[in-house]
A and B are shown apart, each in its own frame.
Chain A
């Protein structure tokens, strides 16, 4: 095996991995559009139009779960505010889409989105400038969550806020953002958020071909995100992350900069979450402040747990399984959904701590060890 950059682990990029990765990618990116677009709609094998954005939504959730697994599964940072990065990415995209509405809004104002006209605003606030350009909006999708994570992480990791404390302040962060975005005078549509989009890059968002395009973009984003996470976790940095997850003080004493390592993955993870949010918004057609609610962020952790923490693939599997179950149950028996979700939380932590992927894998390949074996004092 040839040497790989960054001290990559043996086997991480084997032909076997590439074969299975490409097989999954092709299945998602080619088979779904094929069944939707080229199979005649009345044939039993056809994929109905409404399923495409639904699958796209699951893939966005999968990317979000992946971003959480990167920091929770590998670096032991349980962020309970990851929904905030997702929502911020979504809001950036929502602002672009609102600017694209132009004069087709209810009030027909060429400059201001409907909700601003409704609130009697006269001009576009400065933070909305530039959002009519896709390139600018796309940059913001990366920059806004990334910068927030950088600043927040720098403050938190520098002063060694860890474990539960970190979880609680990330939760406080997303809660504060939720309260802020609920305010009308923030300039982001308040309670109702932003909806009623018309087109993206000149294509009508309600067209099935645009939806297919968005779906394929989600597949690509998820694939690239996965490769990125795998690259990080298979590198030397990945080993450091695993080590600091299990015994942070030891890693520090060995001379590694724990703060820098954590800050790096935390920021990367936030950016991935932001991209997931940006792809999510045009597919579901709305973004509102409830995306910031602490409950949503905790739910991401359960997707990762169900799939298998610290496996990357598990995050994707978990997000898709739990969300499919949610779609099905909230339709079939709405009052049972919370019972099922609650039971899932308890069972995965008590009975299947390694999740679905952990159950399927051979024990020798599981790299997640229970962190409990390290004396508590060393995790401080």
Chain B
């Protein structure tokens, strides 16, 4: 062990001894006297005061110690100790003990309480001790995790004390982990061995670095070295697993977003054969509906109802986008059946008009649509990556929409009529189905689903008039890739595109990954011009 380490060790032992010694008398010491001691000229006195403050269990000590370490603790000419704080451009000075503002004081005229490196170490330890035993649960958790960054013998002693009194399981786990790290640095051989084993079950890159350092040290015991190797391999495996799981989740999440954007198109393009370039704008309208609902809830209803705005926005978006879809079908698209390329141009025109209309009404800048509280945050299933609630709910929502749609298509009379009309229009008409009405409703259904997708997308991205154009190329590719007129194909297409994209991202970068996917789809369509799940037989011919 080098001399520096020895000195550091001695220092920590000293602090711990002081801690233990002063813990008896600390309570008797008045907070005010200790703060007064901080302004003393002797570093030894200062250090004693700092250590005593660390065990005093007084919440005011935290701000005083922080001020001291940041050089904001000043002493006035009459011996008072004050804290200066820059707030809103002006420097405010308040008394360190009573906390009251000292008006008109010029902080430049006071002397700064000088800190040396030794004292800095003491402050750090005292602060850690204060927060480890703080009443505030979050502060304790942060301190327990923070302790991982400076493992040492002193830390180990502190953490041992902390774990003895800690009740909260999450904090206990964090303390235990930091304790293992501290023992790895400073413990006995047996303690180190146990610590290494415990550390091998984590996924924290910091611990990986710590173990790497430990392993690389020249005088490490060979058995410990072996244990460290095993722990490192196990951490590496876990990290790999976590990154695969993270990519998979993000891929499914992206896939579900693509799927939501494409389901409506699978109806209008896949089932009806209408190239609806305004599909993206139906999504955009849905997103703006969510925005309007949110604003109305904020303006008209009590504040605690805001979390419910989505349950209103989803059906409203369905009817807004669906209604516009029906109007579009009746006024433009019905004249263009059988002329797919003309439909493409006309609906592109519609999309330009809708975009400009929204831009004129709401303005070009992005609108902010916030997640309701039950969709914010996330949880960590295996350690190392977070599943956010909004992404998870969107995946769920997407599958609900898809299943309901599949049920409508296969189990309701509307679905039956729809399939009949798209497969053989004259025959369906002869059987008494009002084909024009079915056309309008089908198109409305597809557009309405796009509107609901817009509400979902507003939860994960920006809401702007260009929202639709972002998704339009992707949605068409998903439908074409999966195979036209086939919901299962759309599902598989969207998920596989999403997952492939996310797995390519770390290798090739986000943009290059996307280019690779696009080129792959172009080549794939050459191989299978009718997509993954091609329809067979007569309907396949008619789809062309």
Residues of chain A having any CB pair with chain B under 8 Å: 72, 78, 155-156, 158-165, 167-169, 171-173, 175-176, 179-180, 182-183, 294-295, 298, 301-302, 305, 335, 338-339, 341-346, 348-350, 353, 370-372, 376-377, 379-380
Contact = CB atoms under 8 A, between A and B. Distances in A.
Nearest to B538: A377
B361 to A, nearest CB: 11
B345 A349 contact: yes
Contacts of A155: 522-523, 526
Given A164-B340, A345-B346, A377 B529 contact: no
B526 A346 contact: no
Nearest to A164: B340
B529 A159 contact: yes
Nearest to A346: B349
A376 B525 CA distance: 21
Given A78-B341, A179-B515, A346-B349, A162 B544 contact: yes
Main secondary structure of the interface of B (DSSP, over half): helix
Nearest to A152: B522
Interface string B441-475: 00000000000000000000000000001000100
Residue from the set A158, A172, A173, A175 with the largest chain B CB neighbour count within 10 Å: A172
B356 A335 contact: yes
A153 to B, nearest CB: 11
B12 interface: no
What 9 pairs across the A-B complex have the smallest Cβ distances? A345-B349, A342-B352, A342-B353, A380-B544, A338-B356, A176-B518, A342-B349, A377-B541, A349-B346
Interface in B505-544: 511-512, 514-515, 518-519, 521-523, 525-527, 529, 541-542, 544
Contact of B477 (A172, A339, A345, A380): A172
Given A350-B332, A353-B342, A182 B511 contact: yes
Contacts of B544: 162-163, 376-377, 379-380
A335 B511 CA distance: 32
Interface of B: 275, 277, 332, 335-336, 338-346, 348-353, 355-357, 359-360, 469, 473, 476-477, 480, 511-512, 514-515, 518-519, 521-523, 525-527, 529, 541-542, 544
Contacts of A160: 529
A171 B345 contact: no
A125 to B, nearest CB: 17
Contact of A302 (B345, B355, B526): B345
Main secondary structure of the interface of A (DSSP, over half): helix
Given A179-B511, A349-B336, A350-B335, A335 B360 contact: yes
B169 to A, nearest CB: 47
Given A172-B473, A176-B515, A350-B332, A165 B480 contact: yes
Nearest to B359: A335
A377 B527 CA distance: 20
Contact of A169 (B353, B469, B525, B542): B525
B519 A176 contact: yes
Contact of A172 (B342, B522, B541): B522
B341 A345 contact: no
A168 B277 CA distance: 11
Nearest to A80: B344
B350 A173 contact: no
Contact of B345 (A176, A294, A295, A345): A345
A349 B342 contact: yes
Given A335-B356, A350-B335, A377-B541, A163 B340 contact: yes
A291 B350 CA distance: 22
Nearest to A174: B473
A338 B529 contact: no
Contacts of B340: 163-164
B350 A342 contact: yes
Given A169-B522, A172-B521, A176-B514, 18 more contacts: A158-B526, A159-B526, A161-B529, A167-B275, A169-B525, A173-B518, A175-B473, A176-B515, A183-B512, A298-B344, A302-B345, A302-B348, A338-B353, A342-B351, A342-B352, A343-B353, A345-B349, A349-B345
Nearest to B523: A155
